Chain A
Amino acid sequence: SYELTQPPSVSVSPGQTARITCSGDALPKKYAYWYQQKSGQAPVLVIYEDTKRPSGIPERFSGSSSGTMATLTISGAQVEDEADYHCYSIDSDGNQVFGGGTKVTVL
C-alpha cells in the first residue's frame, strides 16, 4: 500500500525556520497537501496543491515539492504554530493517504 513518510518531530526556536518533509513515490505526479492540527482540535488545511495557501493562512507557511519529496516551511515560526502537521496525497490508484504526522515544537 502507498505510504507517505514524515519525520516524527521537528523542533524550532521562535522566529527561526522549520521545514517538515514528506516523501512518497507518487509525489512527482500527485499533489501534496498539508494540514495543521493543534491539540484536541480538528485538522486545518494550510497548503494545497503543493504550494497554494488558503485564505486566512499566514504567509509564513509555504509549500514546495521536488521529485518524491514535498516540504512545508514555516518561516519565522511562532509559538502558536506548535502543532502536529500531516501531509496528504493520493496515489495513482486513487487511494487517499496521510503521512504519519510531524510534531512541531517551538521553543
Chain B
Amino acid sequence: EVQLVESGGGLVQPGESLRLSCAASGFTFSSYWMSWVRQAPGKGLEWVANIKQDGSKKNYVDSVKGRFTISRDNAKNSLYLQMNSLRAEDTAVYYCARYSSGWYFTYWGQGTLVTVSS
C-alpha cells in the first residue's frame, strides 16, 4: 500500500524558515517524480514544486522561486521542502504527492499545516 506521511509543519513568524518532510513507503520511491502541493485555508489547490527521480531537475511555481527548495533522499525514501523567508500568504496545508506515469497525481499524503503569522 502506497503511503505518504508529511511532517514538519507548524507556526512560524514571517521571515522565518521551516523544513517539511515526506516519508514514502509501499512503492519504489526512486522511480517517480514527486511534488509538493499546497492549499490555503478555504482555497483551492496550488502546485508548488516538483523533482525528478534522481533530483537532477526541479521546478517551482513563480511565487516560491528563490525561497523554497525541494529535495529528496532516495536512500531514505524521503522528500523535503525547505521553506525560507516565509510570508503570510504561504500559510496552507502542504501535501506531498506522487505522480503517475503521466503528469498527474495519483497518491497524496494527509498534509501538514504551515501557519505564518506574527
Most buried by B among A44, A90, A96, A97: A96
Most buried by A among B95, B100, B102, B104: B104
Does A61 count as interface, using CB distance less than 8 angstroms? no
Contact: A96 with B47, CB < 8 Å?
yes
Q: Roughly how many angstroms separate A94 CA and B106 CA in the complex, as a whole number?
A: 18
List residues of A whose CB falls within 8 A of some B CB: 1, 31, 33, 35, 37, 41-45, 48-49, 54, 86, 88, 90, 94, 96-101
Does B54 count as interface, using CB distance less than 8 angstroms? no
Contact: B45 with A101, CB < 8 Å?
yes
Report A-chain residues with C-beta under 8 Å of the C-beta of B50: 96
0 or 1 for each of B77-118: is its CB under 8 Å from A? (1 = yes): 000000000000000000100001011111011110000000
Contact: B109 with A42, CB < 8 Å?
yes
Does B46 count as interface, using CB distance less than 8 angstroms? yes
Does B41 count as interface, using CB distance less than 8 angstroms? no
Contact: B47 with A100, CB < 8 Å?
no
Q: Roughly how many angstroms separate A86 CA and B44 CA in the complex, as a whole number?
A: 8
Q: Roughly how many angstroms separate A97 CA and B105 CA in the complex, as a whole number?
A: 12
CB distance from A82 to the nearest CB of B (A): 17
